[in-house]
Amino acid sequence: RKGFTLIELLIVVVIIGILAAIAIPKFANTKQKAVLASMKSDMRNLVTAQEAFFSDNNTFASAIAATQSATAAAFVPSKGNVIAAPTATATGWSATVTNPAVTGTPATCAVFVGDATPPGTAPANQPEGSPYCY
Q: From 50, 29, 42, select the one nearest 104 (Cα to Cα).
A: 29
Helix (H, G, I), strand (E, B) or coil at 92: strand
Q: From 53, 43, 44, select the one nearest 96 (Cα to Cα).
A: 43
Residues 91, 112, 97, 62: what is their CA dihedral angle, to the nearest 10 degrees? 0
85-130 pLDDT tens trace? 899 988 899 999 999 988 888 899 999 999 988 998 888 889 999 9
Residue 56's pLDDT band (cuts 50, 70, 90): confident
Q: What is the pTM of this model?
A: 0.77
In the predicted model, what is the mean pLDDT of residues 2-19? 93
